[in-house]
Amino acid sequence: MKWIGLELKGLLTIAVATIRDDGTLVKANAGFLRLINMEGEQPAGKRVAPFFIQPDFALLASMEADTEGRIYNGLLTLGDYMTQARTLRTRIWRVNSELHLLAEYDIEELERLYDTVLALNRDYADAQFRLAQTNLKLQQREAEILTLSLTDQLTGVGNRRQLEQVLPVEISRAERTGEKFCVLMADLDHFKKVNDTWGHDTGDEVLIRFGKLLRQQTRVTDTAIRFGGEEFIILMPHTPLEQATAIAERIRGAMGSCQLEVLRDPITVSIGVAELAAGQQGTEFLRRADTALYKAKASGRNRIMVG
């Protein structure tokens, strides 16, 4: 029987091949060559065993033939598993030391199916990318909303909600690590007079200037907060009392040299400083700083006191 005649040679709707037991190709039609990505070639003698993925060629070559010489009838996956592979309904016979393969699958339909799958995969990848971009934008927006919810809109420093979140965390960290933790409580001197004399717009400008000054004079590990009105709190983790007092003095000096054109005199600030004591809760910690601030104001303002 002439296994691969002219009527089969150019067909793409079936795959036909003759392969030796050692996995080298004797002859194949266009359909089979298309499966192994060798269209237009006739690579006789080329080893094609690696293109047999499931079952592999060694297993097929070792199978016993039935009474009709057939050794396999079922699904066979052919191709390169790293790039492109196809599964076909296949029958294989043994003729002496050669295997005759007939794949009864519409290769053109398979190509269309493969192209459809590729298109779906591309669409899925595009959708996944767009979804990831959308999720990133949502996360960024959520972060922006969270930041806004913890920020005093006038001065740009934190608000009381941020104080409620950060203070217990820093106290717990200080207790766990044994590191020093200080707090500054600052109050702008004679601020009511500014509002009463020059108006609330000028008062707001003073608050904005002080918020900017605090962001400039404190460290990234510090948290500056507008506690209310003209009163501000600065949480200073990893900071001993002496260092916190020096930073407070730097803030006081910087504010004293900050002059608004509309004001005849510079605005000064009084600051109370406290260092966290062992076992102390947040309320008592802030109360000590507030008591020190009261003493600073009672002693003439524009000064620093330690509580």
Reported as a single tens digit per residue, the pLDDT across 33-74 is: 988 888 776 678 899 999 999 999 999 999 999 988 899 998
What phi and psi values does residue 85 have, to the nearest 5 degrees? -135, 150
Spatial separation of the C-alpha atoms in residues 136 and 50, rounded to whole Å: 43
| Burial class, 87, CB count within 10 angstroms (exposed 0-12 / middle 13-18 / buried 19+) | middle
- The answer to whether 230 is a known catalytic residue is yes
Q: Looking at the chain, how many residues does it have?
A: 307
Amino acid at 3: W
Predicted structure pTM score: 0.56
Quick check: bond before 55 cis, omega within 30?
A: yes
228 near 158, Cβ under 8 Å? no
pLDDT tens across 217-254, in order? 999 999 999 998 999 999 999 999 999 999 999 999 99
- Tell me 64's DSSP state: P
Predicted confidence at residue 264, as pLDDT, reads 74
Question: What is the tally of helices (H) and strands (E) in the chain?
Answer: 9, 11
What phi and psi values does residue 205 have, to the nearest 5 degrees? -65, -35
Amino acid at 230: E
Q: Residues 98, 230, 261, 275: which is the catalytic one?
A: 230
